[in-house]
Structure formats: structure tokens, C-alpha cells
Amino acid sequence: MTYFPEEVVEHIFDFLESHRHRNTVSTVCKAWYRVERLSRRSVFVGNCYAVRPERVVVRFPGVRSLSVKGKPHFADFNLVPHDWGGFALPWIEAFARGCPGLEELRLKRMVVSDESLELLARSFPNFKVLVLVSCEGFSTDGLAAIATHCRVLRELDLQENEVEDRGPQWLSCFPDSCTSLVSLNFACLKGDVNAGALERLVARCPNIRTLRLNRAVSVDSLSKILARAPHLVDLGTGSFTMDHRAEAYHRLMNNFTKCKSLKSLSGFWDASPRCLPAVYPICRNLTGLNLSYAPAIQGADLIKLIRLCLKLQRLWVLDCIGDKGLAVVASTCKELQELRVFPSDVCGAGTAVVTEEGLVAISSGCPKLNSLLYFCHQMTNAALITIAKNCPHFTRFRLCILDPGKPDPVTNQPLDEGFGAIVQSCKDLRRLSLSGLLTDQVFLYIGMYAECLEMLSIAFAGDSDKGMMYVLNGCKNMRKLEIRDSPFGDAALLEDVGKYETMRSLWMSSCDITLRGCKTLAAKMPRLNVEVINERDESDEMEENPSDLHRVEKMYVYRTVAGPRNDAPDFVWTL
């Protein structure tokens, strides 16, 4: 099978962009396996415990870009104990030893220590991109190490991490010779920043296009930065509060006007409505707008701003926008593709909330909508059916009705028909989160129609094991299934044990599975790690040797070629 010299085959493989395709060609024959592994530049590890880092390094010695994900998704909602695992250090160590050409590292939901960041900074001379999303365990000292030693750093992107603040000096650690920054996002840092150092850094990086500041950066500083970097494409403002009559305010507005390339805005910490007009000049070019941390911007001010954003494709807001506000979005933002509406009490008493009406309006005004995260107080089947008809292009549909298990308020029926309409209409649906009152019927629909579904989140839903079985039997492309507080037990768990090897992971908490069920699964499937997570309670019933009939509170199952992990804390039992 060697019609072509290896270089040619390698060149052909270069056109394969997705990991899946490259994985597939590597299984064709030994020659192709060899060519593929030596030429692979980018590796994505969806579960850090699915494979040992050393093994990745041995197989793909030429990797330049590595992405690794750690904790299960429900860790975002405090359902996974704090020290469950997901450590970055073993990965950084393995690559430091075996793959020093690494240039890009992207980590999500992992524990990253300052020690790992220091090791990272010193081990990879060509290191260019660091992206940390929802990680924890490090401080600004770790960032200082990165700034100091990564000579050709292009991107430092910190998204929603818990970072310990040890002072503002980290930013000053970027040497004067550092001029390569293209993207800098430190919005999640809570501490102060040295304004002068920041302004000088921006000034000497002519290619900077993304800049997301944290709350400590004043509007004054922002103004100076905009003057130095008018080519910005993506801006996260810092604290957006100032006297709107002051000369500084007018300077700010002028500087915004000069930013002709600005496409995306976020931040707006502490924004007071009176400062908003400063951004009016650039609104008509905006494709992305994130106001989800600006509770003071509501009502008429918010609507006025939205009306200017004709090209908006991505909008994140708080639910105080209200159904009326969403109607304005629907009539203005015809290009809208992604909408997220977050709930908050932070808007204050008596502010608007969103219901099914807002979403129906959006669906009829914005037919390009394909990604939704919507927290609301109520939803009806009729609304969902309409939405499904209006927007058949959903790839991500996450609906959270705040009251768990709430039925359709008009008919008092479960929302099975509504969600059924969504999965039937949206043939490309890859991700779905359910809420409200739901019976096994909705899972029948999902199993029948949701052929492309890869990720499903279930909470307080279903009547019996059948529900889960419909999903496992039906959804061929399921990768991640996470379930909480639903009546699925051992029968459902063990219905099709082979299925879990075709999936990345299964999470079940507060369901009806027992220790016996978990043990059976573990015994039948040696290439799965079946983790039972037992947190101690004061009223602890779990003895050293709990009975097999004991209900398991939290279970996490994932396929792996690495065997049981060696860093599990003692409350995690790998069966």
C-alpha cells in the first residue's frame, strides 16, 4: 500500500483537519499509521484519564498543539468534589521530557499548579499559546513565570478560572522585548493590575487583536489603551464607570470611534447606563456582545444599545432584558446565531424576567439561531413547537426552567411534546439540555430522532429505567451523557454495557443505581473506569464495607486505555 512516497501521503494528510479523520486514516495500515503519527501536529484529549500522557508523547512526538479536558462537566455546578483530580502537571511533565517542540496548550477544567506553569514556561522554547478555561490551583505567580520565560508568547487566554491573587507584578514580568502578543485575556483576575505596565505592554505589541481586561482596570486606562491599539478586534472592558460629563468620557468616546475593527465587546463591569453612549459609535459593526456581567444595564438603556447592533451574531445577556427586550433583539439582530440568557437576582427586585414569549419572539425574528442557552421561569409545549419550526438549525439547545420539574403552565402537561418537536426538527442537534417536567416519553423521542446528538444533560426527569434505555439504544453518536436526580437504576445502567466504550463518559448522581450495579458494570467492562464518589457526611451510613444494595450517590464512568488512575483521592473508588 505504498504507491506514494511517505512525504506525499503526509502532505495529503495535511488536508485532514479533523482529529476524527486523522484517527481514521491511522487505522488503515501500518504505513499510514506511521506517517500519520509522525506528522500529527495537534492532539485533543477529551478526558485526561482516558490515556496516559507518556503514551501520547510516544505516539505523537511531533505534536505542537495539545488540548486536554479534566473534570466532568457537572463540576461546574459543584457536583464534583473539589479534589477529585484532573491535574495538569503529569501532562506538562511528560511533554517537557518527550516533546519540547510544544507550542500550544489548551486546558479545560483542570487543576493547574504554579509549579506546572513554571515547568511549562521553562520547558518549551517555542511556546506560543496558553488557554486555560475553568481551571484552578494557580496564582498570579504562575502567570509571572509564563510572562517572564515565554519569549514568543502570542496568546495568554484565561477564561473563568479561579486564580489566587498575589499582586499585580505578573504583568510587569513581560520583558520589554516581548512584542509578539496577539491575544491577552485576564478578565477573570480579581486583583489589581499595574496600569502603566499594561499600557506599555499594549503599546509595544502591534499585533494585538484581542484584549480582555479585568475589573481593576479603570476607564481612564481603557481610554489610553484604545488610543494605542485601535486595531483591536475583541475587547473586554474593565470597570466601565465614570462621570459621563467629564472630558475623559469624551476622550473615551473618540477613542472608541477610532476602533474600526472592533467586532466583539464584553466586560462592562459596574457599567452605569450613562457611560453606554461611549460605545454607540462601534455598535453597528459588532458581531459579539456580552453584557452578562452588567446588571445595571437594563430596560430602556439596554434596548437603545441593542437597536444599534444590527450585525450581532452572538449575544449574552441577563434575564432582566425581559421578554420585551428579547422582542427588540428579534426585530433588530437578524444575523443572530448564538443567544445566552443568564438568570440573576442581581438585577434587583421588580425587574423583568424571561418566559417562553421571549424565546418565541427570538425564534421568529432570528432564523439563523443555532446555539441557545436560556434560563427562564416557564416554558410551554406550544412555544417549543413553534420554536422548533422557526429554527430548525439548532446545533446546541440548552433550556433551563428554573423551577425543577415544572410542567407547561398553560396545560399542566409535561414538556415531552415540546422537546420532542425540537429533536425532530433540528436534525443537526449535537447538544441538548432538558428541564421542566418530563416523562419517559421525551427520551423515546430523543432516542428516535436525535441522531446527531453527542451530549445530553438530564436533571429531575423521567419515570423509569426505560427513559435512559431509550437514549442509550437510540442515540448512535452519544459521547457525553450526564444525569442527575432522575429515577434510573441498575437495569438501565446495565442494559447495554458495550455502549459506554463508544462514549467518552457517563455521569449519574442522585439516581437509583446501586453499588452492585456499578460493580457489575466494572466487572463486565475492563476498559471502563467506573468511579464511585463517596463524600463523607455527618450522618454517614457508608461503612468501610457498604452493602452492595447501597445506593450510589455519584458515579462517573469513562472509557480508558490507561487503567485505573493512580491519583484518585480516597473518596473515589475505582471499581
The position carrying cell 501532562 is 91
Stretch that binds another protein, among 95-103, 248-256, 342-350, 362-370 (CB under 8 A): 342-350
Q: Does 321 bind another protein (CB under 8 A)?
A: no
Q: Phi first, then psi: what are they for 141, rounded to 5°?
A: -65, -40
Per CB under 8 A, 346 contacts another protein? yes
| 537 makes contact with another protein (CB under 8 A) | yes
Cα dist from 112 to 5, 22, 142, whole Å: 42, 29, 9
375 sits near another protein (criterion: CB under 8 A): yes
Closer to another protein by Cβ: residue 176 or 541: 541
Q: Is 74 in the site for another protein (CB under 8 A)?
A: yes
CA distances from 122 to 133, 148, 152, 194 (A): 22, 9, 12, 25
Amino acid letter, 377: H
Residue 59 or residue 406: which is nearer to another protein going by CB? 406
Nearer of residues 96 and 402 to another protein, judged by Cβ? 402
CB of 156 or CB of 511, closer to another protein: 511
φ/ψ of residue 528, rounded to 5: -115, 145
Q: What is the x/- site pattern for another protein, positions 216-255, by CB under 8 A?
A: ----------------------------------------
543 binds another protein (CB under 8 A): no
Q: What sign has the CA pseudo-torsion 478, 484, 486, 491?
A: positive
Is 79 near another protein (CB under 8 A)? yes
- Write the single-letter amino acid at 295: P
Query: Rounded to an integer, what is the distance from CA 25 to the centroid of its chain?
Result: 29
Amino acid at 155: E
Alpha-carbon Rg for the chain in angstroms? 25
157 vs 335, beta carbon nearer another protein: 157
| The pairing of beta strand 480-484 with beta strand 528-533 | unpaired
By CB under 8 A, name the one of 3, 18, 27, 77 that touches another protein: 77
* Contact status: 212 vs another protein (CB under 8 A): no
Cell numbers placing 538: 455527618
Give least dist CB 488 to another protein, A. Answer: 10
Cα three-residue angle 65-68-69, rounded to 5 degrees: 155
Phi-psi region of 78 (alpha: psi -120 to 50; beta: other; left: phi over 0): left
Stretch that binds another protein, among 145-153, 260-268, 336-344, 363-371 (CB under 8 A): 336-344
Sole binder of another protein in the list 116, 134, 355, 370 (CB under 8 A): 134
174 lies in the binding site for another protein (CB under 8 A): no
Distance of closest approach, residue 563 Cβ to another protein, in angstroms: 30
Window 272-301: contact mask with another protein (x via CB under 8 A): --------------------xx-x------
Dist CA 382 CA 225 (whole Å): 49
Interaction of residue 160 with another protein, rule CB under 8 A: yes
Q: How far is the CB of 52 from another protein (least distance, A)?
A: 29
139 belongs to the binding site for another protein (CB under 8 A): no
Q: Please, which residue, 300 or 349, has the CB nearer to another protein?
A: 349
Which C-beta is closer to another protein: that of 87 or that of 375? 375
196 is a site residue for another protein (CB under 8 A): no
Between 403 and 432, how does the x/- string for binding to another protein read (CB under 8 A)?
Answer: xxxxx-------------------------
Stretch of residues binding another protein (CB under 8 A), selected from 9-17, 59-67, 277-285, 398-406:
398-406
What's the one-letter identity of residue 216?
Answer: A
DSSP string of 280-338?
HHHHTT-SEEE-TT-TT--HHHHHHHHHT-TT--EEEEEGGGHHHHHHHHHHH-TT--E
Q: Examine residue 511 and tell whether it contacts another protein (CB under 8 A).
A: yes
What is the rounded CA–CA span in Å between residue 174 and residue 171? 6
Q: Which is nearer to another protein, 74 or 240 (CB)?
A: 74
Residue 179 CB: number of other CB atoms within 10 A?
15
Pick the closer one to another protein by CB: 229 or 461: 461
Question: In 3D, which of 376, 432, 362 has the Cα closest to residue 408?
Answer: 376
Q: What is the 3-state secondary structure (H, E, C) of 113-137?
A: CHHHHHHHHHHCCCCCEEEEECCEE
Work out which of 96, 248, 382, 402 binds another protein, going by CB under 8 A: 402
Comparison of 228 and 484: residue with beta carbon closer to another protein = 484
Q: Which one of the spans 166-174, 220-228, 305-313, 456-464 is the region binding another protein (CB under 8 A)?
A: 456-464
User: Rounded to whole angstroms, how far apart are CA atoms 99 and 52?
Assistant: 14
Residues 6+ apart with CB under 8 A from 77: none
88 or 437: whose CB is closer to another protein?
437
Q: Which residues make beta-bridge pairs with 131? A: 106, 157
Exactly one of 83, 301, 485, 495 binds another protein (CB under 8 A); which one? 485
Whether 71 and 86 have beta carbons less than 8 Å apart is answered as yes
When the beta carbons of 474 and 489 are compared against another protein, the nearer one is: 489
Does 460 contact another protein by CB under 8 A? Answer: yes
Helix (H) / strand (E) containing 36: helix 30-39
Please say whether the beta carbons of 117 and 149 come within 8 A.
no
In sequence order, what are the beta bridge partners of 45? Answer: 68
Minimum CB separation from another protein for residue 539, in Å?
A: 7
Return residues touching another protein (CB under 8 A): 74, 76-79, 134, 160-162, 188, 292-293, 295, 342-346, 348-349, 375, 400, 402-407, 433, 437, 457, 459-460, 484-487, 510-512, 537, 539, 551, 553
